[in-house]
Amino acid sequence: MGRGTVTRQRLLCFITIPKHFLAQFNGRGVSRYVDAGPERDGRKARRQTWAEGLSEGAESDTATPTATSSPTAPHSSAAIPTYSQPPSSALTNEEQVGDSCLGTLRQPTFPRWLDGSDGQPYSNAPWGDRTTLNSDATIEADVPTTNVTRKYDFTVHRSRLSPDGVLRDVILVNDQFPGPAIEANWGDWIEVTVHNDISLPEEGHAMHWHGMLQRGSQWEDGVPSVSQCPIAPGHSYSYRFRAEVYGTSFWHAHYSAQYTAGVVGPMVVYGPSESEYDVDLGPVMLSDWNHIPYFSMVDNVVSAGGLADGSIPPLSDSGLINGRGQFDCSQPSYSNSTDWLGSNLSSNLTWTCVDGAERSKFQFQSGKTHRLRLMNTGADGVQKFSIDGHTMTVIATDYVPIVPYTTDIVTLGVGQRTDVLVTADQDSASAWWMRTTLPGQASCGGLGTPSPTNGSYPQVLAAIYYDSADTTLEPLSSSNITDISCSNQPLDITQPAYPIAPSPNAYYQEVIIGITLNETGSFNFLINNQTFRANFNEPLLYQAAAGNTSFPEEPQWNVYDFGSNASIVLNVTNETPFYHPFHLHGHTFFVLHVGEGTGPPLTGGPPPGVTGPPTGAPPAGGGPPFPAATTWDGSIINPTNPMRRDVQIIPAGGYAAIQFEATPGVWPFHCHSAWHLSGGLGMNLITRASEIDGIPDGTRGGTCKGWDEYSAGVVVDQIDSGS
* Contact in structure between 369 and 278 (CB atoms under 8 Å): yes
Q: What is the pLDDT of residue 350?
A: 66
Q: Does residue 119 or residue 458 have the better pLDDT?
A: 119
Write the pLDDT tens digit of every residue in 526-558. 999 999 999 999 999 999 999 999 998 899 999
Write the pLDDT tens digit of every residue in 684-711. 999 999 999 889 887 777 899 999 999 9
Does residue 154 sit in helix, strand or coil?
A: strand
Q: Does residue 406 or residue 480 have the better pLDDT?
A: 406
Identify the bridge partners of residue 284 per DSSP, sorted by sequence position: 374
| DSSP, residue by residue, 394-423 | EEEETTEEEEEEEES-EEE-TT-EEEEEEE
Domains of the chain, first to last: 5-67+107-272 (2.60.40.420), 289-470 (2.60.40.420), 507-692 (2.60.40.420)
Q: CA-based angle 611:615:617, to the nearest 5? A: 90
Q: In the predicted model, is pLDDT for residue 439 greater than 80?
A: no
Q: In the predicted model, is pLDDT for residue 411 greater than 50?
A: yes
Q: In the predicted model, is pLDDT for residue 654 greater than 70?
A: yes
- Residue 205: band (very low, low, confident or very high) from pLDDT cuts 50, 70, 90: very high
Residues 6+ positions from 142 with CB-CB distance below 8 Å? 130, 135, 136
Write the pLDDT tens digit of every residue in 146-202. 999 999 999 999 999 999 999 999 999 999 999 999 999 999 999 999 999 999 999
Q: In the predicted model, is pLDDT for residue 242 greater than 60?
A: yes
| DSSP, residue by residue, 576-597 | SSS-EEEEETT--EEEEEEE--
Average pLDDT (290-319) is 70
pLDDT-wise least confident of 2-6, 362-366, 692-696, 717-721: 2-6
Q: In the predicted model, is pLDDT for residue 102 greater than 80?
A: yes
Q: In the predicted model, is pLDDT for residue 451 greater than 60?
A: no
Q: In the predicted model, is pLDDT for residue 464 greater than 50?
A: yes
CA 387 to chain centroid, in Å, comes to 21
Kindly give the pairing relationship between strand 643-645 and strand 665-671.
unpaired
Q: What is the pLDDT of residue 87?
A: 67
- Residue 649: band (very low, low, confident or very high) from pLDDT cuts 50, 70, 90: very high
Q: What is the pLDDT of residue 630?
A: 77
Q: What is the pLDDT of residue 720?
A: 82
Question: H-helix or E-strand containing 107?
Answer: none
Q: What is the pLDDT of residue 161?
A: 96
Q: In the predicted model, is pLDDT for residue 445 greater than 80?
A: no
Across the chain, what does the average pLDDT equal? 81
Q: What is the pLDDT of residue 340?
A: 36
Q: What is the pLDDT of residue 681?
A: 95
The pTM of the full predicted model, rounded to 2 decimals, is: 0.86
Q: What is the pLDDT of residue 76?
A: 32
**Using CA atoms, how far apart are residues 647 and 247, in angstroms rounded to an integer?**
15
Q: In the predicted model, is pLDDT for residue 719 greater than 90?
A: no
Write the pLDDT tens digit of every residue in 565-579. 999 999 999 988 888
As a 3-state breakdown, the chain gives helix, strand, coil percent values, each rounded to 5, of 15, 30, 60
Q: What is the pLDDT of residue 517?
A: 75
Residues 6+ positions from 516 with CB-CB distance below 8 Å? 523, 524, 526, 618, 620, 621, 622, 623
Q: Does residue 462 or residue 606 have the better pLDDT?
A: 462
Q: What is the pLDDT of residue 313?
A: 59
| Residue 480 to residues 298, 435, 638, Cα–Cα distance (Å) | 36, 12, 32
Q: Does residue 32 or residue 131 have the better pLDDT?
A: 131
pLDDT-wise least confident of 262-271, 502-511, 614-623: 614-623
Question: H-helix or E-strand containing 475?
Answer: strand 474-475
Write the pLDDT tens digit of every residue in 580-622. 999 999 999 999 999 987 654 443 333 333 233 333 333 333 3
